[in-house]
Structure 1
């Protein structure tokens, strides 16, 4: 997933859905395992993580529809309670 995101940045972009709206994932980093199920989010004050089939990624930058690129942590704070939430493709 990390390489997929890198390979599609900036266009066409790697995206997912959050509450029915597209969320473009701009930049990630491989993180220490947090034992999250695939697509499940974990937010801290300064970081946002997502589980994958191969481990854990830190989501460094995202771009919500119609907004500028922002840090994953900033997006998570504005999005409300994301801990345990699942991002989807549909």
Structure 2
């Protein structure tokens, strides 16, 4: 199970990690787990959640000149929390 990815995401949702730090680190951690086939060990629900959060983190852009589809700090947190809620339902 991708315990570290999930724990890191929960830390971010609790306000213990800054959005920019979360986005960059999550993407790197996810890629490492993917490259070492660790994500294959997750159940489907967790796998879908972590994959969705990867996409959400990739859409994050802290700059003011971001594209319309990119997420700001608040939008990132809202979407990550929504994925965590789906996982827990």
Q: State TM-score, norm by structure 2.
A: 0.29
Structure with the greater alpha carbon radius of gyration = 2
* Higher helix fraction (1 or 2): 2
* Higher strand fraction (1 or 2): 1
Q: State TM-score, norm by structure 1.
A: 0.29
